[in-house]
């Protein structure tokens, strides 16, 4: 049985953890918000500046109904962002189970968590949003890719290094095939995967 004092202590611990996480995020390099006309820069800024999004899969446990799951990701360490999202997911999680059957998935990220949308609603076109679609595949054979994935994720999500080993966490990467970006009025922007990957983000500090 959990007492009121126990709940209070747990809440204090969780609050402290959140403060520490926020403080470390504040210390991370900051990237300037690009002009919406610079489509590739905006897309890369959204992916590099964020650290989590929603991964949507064709669900196994829901018999084919789309399933969205909040997932942490990284596209590389701050000084070497690539635009390619890497993930660290447990075999107990439904998302890797879905991907093992149907690897097609999408990652959706919003500008809203970055605090640059002001009071605008998240559906306001000027509060940018991006969906990267393609195949999310397990990194289990390429030693170099595994090393980079670990560097990318652990540099932005250091607590991942201490996650339980018996939960069978594995590294994954998204092979991007389509980009859906809205950052201004008039509908989705046209952006090729090649132009997206060729863009380089530069820290403002």
pLDDT in tens, 7-42: 444 444 444 444 334 333 444 556 789 999 999 999
Residues 31-198: name the CATH superfamily: Electron Transport, Fmn-binding Protein; Chain A (2.30.110.10)
Tell me the two tokens of residue 103: 């690897």
pLDDT > 90 in the chain, percent? 80
Q: What b/e string do you get for 115-129 counting C-beta neighbours within 10 Å, with b at 16 or more?
A: eebeeeeeebeebbb
Question: Partners of 74 in the beta sheet?
Answer: 86
pLDDT in tens, 179-200: 999 999 999 999 999 999 999 8
pTM: 0.85
- Where are the domains positioned within the chain? 1-30, 31-198
In the prediction, which pLDDT does 201 show?
72
Flag residues of the chain having pLDDT under 70.
1-30, 202-205
In the prediction, which pLDDT does 203 show?
57
């Amino acid at each position: 049985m959990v007492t009121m004092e126990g709940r209070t202590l747990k809440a204090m611990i969780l609050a402290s953890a959140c403060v520490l996480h926020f403080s470390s995020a504040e210390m991370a390099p900051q990237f300037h918000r690009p002009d919406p006309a610079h489509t590739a820069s905006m897309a890369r800024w959204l992916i590099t500046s964020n650290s989590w999004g929603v991964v949507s899969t064709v669900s196994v446990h829901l018999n084919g109904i789309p399933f969205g799951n909040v997932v942490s990701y990284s596209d590389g360490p701050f000084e070497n962002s690539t635009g390619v999202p890497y993930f660290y997911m447990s075999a107990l999680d439904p998302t890797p189970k879905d991907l093992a059957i149907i690897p097609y998935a999408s990652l959706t990220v919003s500008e809203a968590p970055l605090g640059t949308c002001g009071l605008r609603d998240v559906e306001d076109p000027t509060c940018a949003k991006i969906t990267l679609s393609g195949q999310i595949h397990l990194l289990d054979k390429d030693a170099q890719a595994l090393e980079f994935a670990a560097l990318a994720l652990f540099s932005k999500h250091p607590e991942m290094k201490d996650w339980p080993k018996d939960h069978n966490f594995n590294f994954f990467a998204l092979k991007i095939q389509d980009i859906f970006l809205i950052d201004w009025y008039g509908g989705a922007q046209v952006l090729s995967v090649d132009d997206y990957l060729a863009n380089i983000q530069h820290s403002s500090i």
